[in-house]
Structure 1
Amino acid sequence: MAGLFLVSTRDREFAESALAGARRQFALHGFSGLSEHAWPGWRLIHAPFILGGPESLLARGDDLVAVAGTLSCDGQFGQPALEALLAMADAPDWSRIGGQFVALVRAQGRTRLFTDFFGAFQLFHDAERRVFSTSLLSAIEALPNVSFDPQGVYEFAFNVVPVGDDTVFAELKTLGPDRVAEPSPDGVRLHDAAKPLPEATCEMPLLDRLAIHRDRLLSVVGPYAQAFEGRIFCPISGGLDSRLALAALKACGVMPSLYVYGGAESADVRIGREIAAGEGAAIEWLDKEGWREVAPDAFPDQVEANFHAYDGLPNYGELFENGANAFAREARHQDGALSVSGGCGEVYRNFFFLPDRPLSAAAVARTFFARYARSDVTAAFDERAFLRGIEDKMLAALGRPGFRGKLPRALIEQVYPRVRCRALFGREISLEARYGPYLMPFLDHRVAAEAARLPLALKNAGRFEAALLNAISPRLASYPSAYGHDFTGPPGAAHRRAEFLTRIRPTMLRRYSYALRRRMGPVADEHGGLLSPDYMGRVVDLDFPAMRRFFRTGRIGDSGMMRRIANLEYLAAKLGSKLAP
């Protein structure tokens, strides 16, 4: 991502200690070539991409632009993009800006600090806003103490990541997309940053709509294709999103290096290889689980390395893996190569499988975020407060704080990019883009804005996204998929039926879907890890002294949830006395 660490110097002793800690932690993350900058009241550490990439720092006299992440401006990257950002007057012009990043711009004696359109790239800060850091561990190190926040802890355990501005710590938040911070010698002022998206769908002929979406997607992908040419890596699998990303790249004149992850017999690997063969392209295959064996005695060192590579808290709690993710990530970014992701492709689909009628934010929270069984938690869990907390964060993201009525169905669709993608893919982007440039085209606000106009009927079962793929590349659309049908025509009957049966289920019943599934037996996810007691007992106290305040770990029959809880326990042990009761 490159990396940023900004600290107020009003308390000199605090600032010096925080800077020393950040230098140590940035080195443990793998950063090198750090530069430091100072102006009245503030000190900044900036780190370039670990494995190379576009220039992310511009220093000219008293003016300064420092970026973490992948910024495009006027379709340019590196120095030209930084120059364009510096020239913007009082606020970012989002019609000219793309990518996911954090930017610090200092011009004419005034400093501004802001995130990308959706606030996906994470910038952590303390309650007093003395510290701003793209590294969670560096932000923690700067503070005298931190304490676990129950809302953030439960969101991480149940739903993979906390949403909104929250973290798992009460003392740390992330800078939201609706704010621009202005650090000054006297403190930090926050300015509102309106970022509207269309709140109503529109009707038009399908061919006209496909042409508009094709042009919009290619206008986002094209500058990356031109800038990085043969240094682009793109996944391919049995799904739709990565194939659409590949189609966009090819339409822009680039055939990227292809890769696929999974077991030898998985549908993703089988279909990915078939697509590569049909396109006459090589494909790299990696079975991460079988990539290498780690002896139990070597496991603590591997987890320690993962801890710093993942900044303490990876998505899904993937701290306890064999190092394959780091190996694959470095391969995707070697020598500053661009890695492309199909993440957020569900912006073209009915991600929450909700019916086409107005619903309250409370109903959405119950439907999607109630992924827990009451038997798993202690008395620290307040179910009503937990769901209300998520509801309030959704309403804030939609610009409807405190509204308890029913929301227009088209507005509810914005929960996906503004809340779910910001949290889930934001953490992924914030970690991956330390190493090199990263493109997630479907999270670009210009793509999301056009997708917000789609009638819901076109989103169901991926009908429109498949048609868009077919409009861009009929040949790529013709290959089989993990859905049991290709993408040259309407979705298959089984695919439509499965989604329909979910959509018609009342939201009050869907609230209990996860708990009912748990009653049927153990639950697992695809993220694996070395989770047996012979491994985990070497890195985590299996009595869970920190997490047993929140969870009844002996009753949890979900290996993915247990992996995330174990990640929190490992983090607690690393913090030691810094962790307040």
Structure 2
Amino acid sequence: MLNAISVLLHGGNQDGYRRAARSMGRQGFESASRFEWMGGVLDAWGNPSQRSVENFAVRTSSGVACCVGPLWYRGRFGNPALDLLLVELGGVGRIDEMELRGNFALFLRTHDHCLLMNDVLGLVRLYASPDVFFYSTSWLATCAYAGGVALDEVAAAEYVLLGASHSDRTVARGVTTLPVARAFDLIQRKPQARLPMGIWDEARIPLSLEAAVDEICSHLQTVCREITMAFPGRTRAALSGGFDSRLIVAGLLACGSRPELFVYGQSTSDDVAIARTVAESAGLPIKVIDKSQLNRPVSRPDIERLVNNALFFDGLPNDGIYDAGADEQTRLEQNAGGCIALNGGGGEIFRNFFHLPDRPMHAADIVRTFYRGFDPKIFRRPDGLASWYHHLVASIVASLGLESLAAGRTLRRAEVELVYPLFRCHHWMSVNNSVAIRHGYYATPLVDLNMVRLAWQLPIAQKNAGKLESHLVARLDPAIARQLSAYGFRFSDGPDWRAHFSEWAHCARPVFARPFINSARRRLRGLGVAPDMSAHCRSLLPGEWQLDPVLDLARLPDNFAFARALAVEVAWRKLVA
């Protein structure tokens, strides 16, 4: 299958394109196909581990299409879907976004159109070079094309502290990502809007909880049925004690699918015990994957392992690169044999993700609530914290398409619900999804355009404490809903008084106080960077790090944040500078 694409428009830097091609080779990809047209050249790349899997690339009288990742259109999958997309784009000049599903990057060329796009929520990343002549699914390749990139301090701080840069900027200055709900128009050489005005407000609101459950379950069954038909006997799904993974499994079971299940964790953990019970109730075997055991033979990665991790994960994964090889191994196993790996990411659209009360909020409230889990003294620049707030607030507003509205305008409570899919998922979840499709089929089927339109305006009372999602699981598969969850209640019963009290207590916390509450919790739990981890990494990469003038790395909140600072350092010393 195809796992990466790169595009060079005419007039672009040929030396840069050769550097990008060398980067793709160093990342382990091999050239799979090439298409040249009057405006430029497209190169598609494959992962050797997926050689036996069909490529998604077609050339017809209607045009040329090339796709990375799983794609469905009007119920068709893969190349038949690409054929239909070309026919409609070439005929009426547009495609129906409501019928387009999957996690993918897509190139479409017809007589009048040349587009590079992803799923409309942008859950797979597409990068553009500073000169906007080069585009790729690979951040490392885009940096290689640009040559000698400098650090974007704002984006780098967001990556280290949050797990991803949370705007269209990336850690490499001038290298940008495709904004949400946009396509790169390669003829006009600019982003093109894909959704009509008012698409969110025009969504019909179900009149009751039961009606909402009916509509959401109907759509999820359609999605799961399409997956089952495209991957008969080749569906793998993660399972845990939480809501989202069980909802995925319930949807598959409702469609007659028998997925292969796996759970991450130690065999003695509560999460593994719950997952085993759920799997047993469905009559399905489950594999327990303990990454700590896989990493035990080599507890400390050396510099060669760190560079290999950076190449495997395209430089800057959500959790950094401090791993002895277990993460790479498990990802490859999930996709072996052309299987698709399903993940419940994005299922929080059915819950009160930010734990905010049911009233209008300002974008700054969301930043204080969710994006301030660190010591404010971590910033070395005098304006570091203020810049942090300003940039995140501006990015939240932009993700909702509200840039033209009055500064300081509060968000309707339903608009706050859109922040999760259009901002959080678009920027954070897209990093992991993009890494995953580099190595095989992967999808997060709980969050797509239709699902977001169904869920965003539902009353918060229905989402609180997982009430709505409990009903969804129980409707789709009563047997697995009757098993205990990590929250202490069975989804068949719905959230108990303790779950409702916990939700109320979270929402009642004043927004202004939440950074202080987070700080106190961090101190009580003794969180921080392990000294031996810091010392080991500093010994491998002596001298001043790229982020030392920006952040006090000794004040980072946890080991994952330090592993991300490490990823930046390895990228700049070994791969992009």
TM over 0.5: yes
**Secondary structure of the corresponding residue to residue 132 of structure 2:** coil
Cα 1:285–1:521 shift into 2, 3 Å = closer
- Alignment partner of 1:270 out of 259, 263, 273: 273
> Does the alignment pair 1:425 with 2:429?
yes
Aligned-partner Cα distance in 2 for 1:223–1:448: 19
Contact 2:295 / 2:323 at 8 angstroms: preserved in 1? no
Structure 2 unmatched runs, 5+: none
Contact 1:296 / 1:534 at 8 angstroms: preserved in 2? no
Q: What CA deviation, in whole Å up to 9, does each residue of 1:15-35 have, x standing for no partner?
A: 2x2332233222233323421
Corresponding residue number in structure 1 for 2:223: 220
Q: What CA deviation, in whole Å up to 9, does each residue of 1:13-56 have, x standing for no partner?
A: x22x2332233222233323421221123121112465254532
**Secondary structure of the corresponding residue to residue 181 of structure 1:** strand
Structure 1 unmatched runs, 5+: none
Aligned-partner Cα distance in 2 for 1:508–1:249: 42
Contact 2:528 / 2:556 at 8 angstroms: preserved in 1? no
- What amino acid is aligned across from residue 412 of structure 1 in structure 2? V
- Alignment partner of 1:113 out of 116, 119, 140: 116
Aligned-partner Cα distance in 2 for 1:39–1:363: 48
Corresponding residue number in structure 2 for 1:392: 394
> Does the alignment pair 1:327 with 2:329?
yes
Corresponding residue number in structure 2 for 1:570: 570
- What amino acid is aligned across from residue 152 of structure 1 in structure 2? A
After superposition, residues 133-532 of structure 1 pair within 5 angstroms as: 133-184=136-187, 188-194=189-195, 196-198=199-201, 202=205, 204-295=207-298, 299-317=302-320, 319-379=321-381, 381-401=383-403, 402-403=405-406, 404-520=408-524, 522-523=526-527, 532=533
Aligned-partner Cα distance in 1 for 2:109–2:566: 41
Cα 1:59–1:346 shift into 2, 3 Å = same
Cα 1:175–1:4 shift into 2, 3 Å = same
Aligned-partner Cα distance in 1 for 2:426–2:301: 35
Aligned-partner Cα distance in 1 for 2:191–2:310: 32
Contact 2:74 / 2:100 at 8 angstroms: preserved in 1? yes
Aligned-partner Cα distance in 2 for 1:405–1:227: 45
Q: What CA deviation, in whole Å up to 9, does each residue of 1:305-359 have, x standing for no partner?
A: 2111101111121x11121111111111112111111111111000000000011
Aligned-partner Cα distance in 1 for 2:540–2:226: 45
Aligned-partner Cα distance in 1 for 2:555–2:487: 34
Aligned-partner Cα distance in 2 for 1:255–1:531: 44
Q: What CA deviation, in whole Å up to 9, does each residue of 1:383-438 have, x standing for no partner?
A: 22211111111111112115421111011100000010111211111110112221
Q: What CA deviation, in whole Å up to 9, does each residue of 1:535-577 have, x standing for no partner?
A: 4245433x5432111112234453222222222222222247x
> 1:201 deviation in Å?
7.9
- What amino acid is aligned across from residue 37 of structure 2 in structure 1? W
Aligned-partner Cα distance in 1 for 2:535–2:375: 27
Aligned-partner Cα distance in 2 for 1:555–1:365: 20
Q: What CA deviation, in whole Å up to 9, does each residue of 1:131-171 have, x standing for no partner?
A: 10100110000013211112211111221111131211221
Contact 1:217 / 1:248 at 8 angstroms: preserved in 2? yes
**Secondary structure of the corresponding residue to residue 293 of structure 1:** helix
Q: How well do the aligned residues superpose, as a CA RMSD in angstroms? A: 2.3
- What amino acid is aligned across from residue 158 of structure 1 in structure 2? L
- What amino acid is aligned across from residue 460 of structure 2 in structure 1? L
> Does the alignment pair 1:26 with 2:24?
yes
What's the % identity of the aligned pairs?
Answer: 27
Corresponding residue number in structure 2 for 1:81: 81
Q: What CA deviation, in whole Å up to 9, does each residue of 1:215-255 have, x standing for no partner?
A: 01111221111111100101111111101100100111101
Cα 1:139–1:38 shift into 2, 3 Å = same
Kindly report structure 1 stretches of 4+ aligned residues shifted beyond 6 Å: none
Cα 1:217–1:130 shift into 2, 3 Å = same
Q: What CA deviation, in whole Å up to 9, does each residue of 1:456-487 have, x standing for no partner?
A: 10100100100110011111101111111111
Cα 1:346–1:555 shift into 2, 3 Å = closer
Aligned-partner Cα distance in 2 for 1:256–1:456: 32
Aligned-partner Cα distance in 1 for 2:21–2:75: 33
- What amino acid is aligned across from residue 60 of structure 2 in structure 1? R
Contact 1:522 / 1:558 at 8 angstroms: preserved in 2? no
Q: Which moved more, 1:364-373 or 1:375-384?
A: 375-384
Aligned-partner Cα distance in 2 for 1:374–1:108: 54
Contact 2:143 / 2:172 at 8 angstroms: preserved in 1? no
> 1:296 deviation in Å?
7.0
Contact 2:5 / 2:68 at 8 angstroms: preserved in 1? yes
Cα 1:6–1:291 shift into 2, 3 Å = same
Aligned-partner Cα distance in 2 for 1:437–1:521: 38
Cα 1:271–1:518 shift into 2, 3 Å = closer
**Secondary structure of the corresponding residue to residue 189 of structure 2:** strand
- What amino acid is aligned across from residue 140 of structure 1 in structure 2? C
Corresponding residue number in structure 2 for 1:40: 38
- What amino acid is aligned across from residue 409 of structure 1 in structure 2? R
Cα 1:19–1:144 shift into 2, 3 Å = closer
Aligned-partner Cα distance in 2 for 1:311–1:556: 23
Contact 2:140 / 2:575 at 8 angstroms: preserved in 1? no
> Does the alignment pair 1:94 with 2:97?
yes
